[in-house]
């Protein structure tokens, strides 16, 4: 059970989709939609005035070939205005170039349009609790990108840890998956931050994707 309501702002240009998402979230205990928007400009204005824990943005305002270039700037604006707000994109765009560009811009979760309502709600809870929810097809692209550069400054074990972080796994889940203890995971992550010259999980993943060093 959640300790508080997760406040959510919903963005979708399509009226039916926007209202459907709002109704689903509002009817579920622990979730509260505080704003429902048809345009990114209205959403950004709202965030300047009132905090939302999560922005759930449907990428239906642009054609597929435009979204990769249109959304990164939108993402950066949201993060600049409300750094603590988590941002989930809801989309059917699965090209590697677009996915990596959007992840580099700072999104916290990436959920495809074929996901079930249960998965959508789980993704909101997961990102609110510090995870990084990704649909399986998106996670596959992210992990695949880790193997494109063989000159990584990270050790093989550190690469494994970072891959699991990118999938949204917790420290405990990483420890279980790699058969190591939680403190060893913390040590690996500390080394990853030092080697990549970053200070957070999001920065580490974004830099790894951008520079293709893992």
Helix, strand or coil, per DSSP, at residue 11: strand
Share of the chain above pLDDT 70, in %: 87
DSSP labels, 134-154: B-HHHHHHHHHHTTS-S--SS
Q: Give the pLDDT of residue 213.
A: 65
From 3.40.605.10, 3.40.50.20, 3.40.50.2300, 3.30.1130.10, which CATH number describes the 6-134 domain? 3.40.50.2300
Domain with CATH 1.10.10.10 in the chain: 146-211
Helix, strand or coil, per DSSP, at residue 202: helix
Report the chain's C-alpha Rg in angstroms: 17
- Judged by average pLDDT, the poorest of 12-26, 43-57, 106-120, 147-161 is 147-161
For range 57-83, the mean pLDDT:
71
Distance, CA of 110 to CA of 102 (rounded, Å): 9
Q: Give the pLDDT of residue 65.
A: 37
pLDDT band at 64 (very low <50, low <70, confident <90, very high): very low
Q: Give the pLDDT of residue 122.
A: 94
Please enumerate in sequence order all residues whose Cβ is within 8 A of that of 5, keeping only pairs 6 or more positions apart, or say none: 30, 31, 32
Q: Give the pLDDT of residue 103.
A: 81
Domain with CATH 3.40.50.2300 in the chain: 6-134
Q: Give the pLDDT of residue 148.
A: 58
pLDDT band at 2 (very low <50, low <70, confident <90, very high): very low
Q: Give the pLDDT of residue 94.
A: 67
Q: Give the pLDDT of residue 165.
A: 86
Q: Give the pLDDT of residue 54.
A: 96
How many alpha carbons lie under 13 Å from residue 15 in its C-beta half-sphere?
0
pLDDT band at 211 (very low <50, low <70, confident <90, very high): confident
Long-range pairs, 118-125, Cβ under 8 A, ≥24: 120/21, 120/24, 120/56, 120/90, 121/24, 121/25, 121/28, 121/31, 123/88, 124/6, 124/8, 124/25, 124/31, 124/54, 124/56, 124/88, 125/2, 125/6, 125/30
Q: Do residues 214 and 154 lie in contact, with contact meaning Cβ atoms separated by under 8 Å?
A: yes
Q: Give the pLDDT of residue 214.
A: 61
pLDDT, tens digit, for every residue of 140-190? 777 776 665 556 788 888 888 988 888 888 889 899 888 888 899 989 999
From 3.90.550.10, 3.50.50.60, 1.10.10.10, 3.20.20.70, which CATH number describes the 146-211 domain? 1.10.10.10
Q: What is the dihedral of CA 51, 52, 53, 57, to 10 degrees?
A: -140
């Amino acid at each position: 059970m959640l300790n508080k309501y997760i406040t959510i702002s919903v963005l979708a240009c399509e009226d039916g989709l926007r209202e459907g998402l709002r109704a689903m979230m509002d009817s579920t205990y622990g979730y509260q939609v505080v704003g429902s928007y048809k345009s990114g400009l209205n959403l950004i204005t709202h965030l300047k005035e009132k905090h939302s824990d999560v922005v759930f943005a449907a990428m239906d305002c642009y054609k597929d070939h435009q979204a990769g270039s249109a959304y990164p700037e939108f993402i950066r604006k949201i993060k600049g205005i409300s750094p603590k707000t988590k941002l989930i994109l809801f989309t059917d765009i699965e090209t590697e170039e677009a996915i990596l560009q959007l992840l580099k811009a700072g999104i916290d979760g990436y959920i495809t349009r074929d996901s079930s309502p249960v998965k959508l709600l789980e993704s909101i809870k997961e990102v609110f609790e510090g995870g990084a929810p990704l649909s399986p097809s998106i996670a596959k692209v992210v992990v695949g990108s880790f193997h494109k550069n063989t000159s990584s400054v990270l050790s093989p074990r550190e690469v494994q840890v970072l891959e699991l972080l990118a999938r949204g796994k917790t420290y405990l889940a990483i420890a279980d998956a790699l058969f190591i203890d939680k403190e060893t995971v913390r040590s690996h992550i500390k080394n990853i931050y030092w080697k990549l010259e970053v200070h957070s999980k999001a920065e580490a993943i974004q830099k790894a994707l951008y520079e293709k060093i893992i």
